[in-house]
Amino acid sequence: MSWLYPDRGDFIAVVGKMQDINAVRQVKATLLSSRYLSVYSMNAPGFIPGIDFSDHLNYWQHDIPAVMITDTAFYRNKQYHLPGDTADRLNYQKMAQMVL
């Protein structure tokens, strides 16, 4: 995904399936109302690695529109979901800006 997104985690990405373009647009528009965040979005087919790496997959499996809101850490953090993926590596100030 480095060809699409920056390698620095100073943004949020809204990701959805191809047919969920309206849901992705609505969520992105809401997030863009924050002065603090850069927001990227992508609608992609399910075979793209990472597009189904979260809880939204359960909704997709039942044909319920859903999006993933992510900072794409799994592409940048080599310790993602490993023992080195610890709380001290999180940016709580940025996370607070994300709360709607």
Residue 55 has a pLDDT of 87
CB atoms within 10 A of CB 82: 9
Looking at residue 7, what is its pLDDT? 63
**What is the rounded distance in angstroms from the CA atom of residue 44 to the CA atom of residue 74?**
17
Looking at residue 98, its pLDDT comes to 76
The answer for 72, left when phi > 0, alpha when psi is -120 to 50, beta otherwise, is: left
Nearest to 67 by CA among 2, 11, 8, 18: 18
Identify the pLDDT of residue 51. Answer: 85
CA dist 41 and 16 (Å) reads: 8
Model pLDDT, residue 18: 92
pLDDT averages per 10-residue partition of the chain, 100 residues: 63 91 94 83 87 88 91 80 90 78
- Are 11 and 71 in contact by the 8 Å Cβ rule? The answer is yes
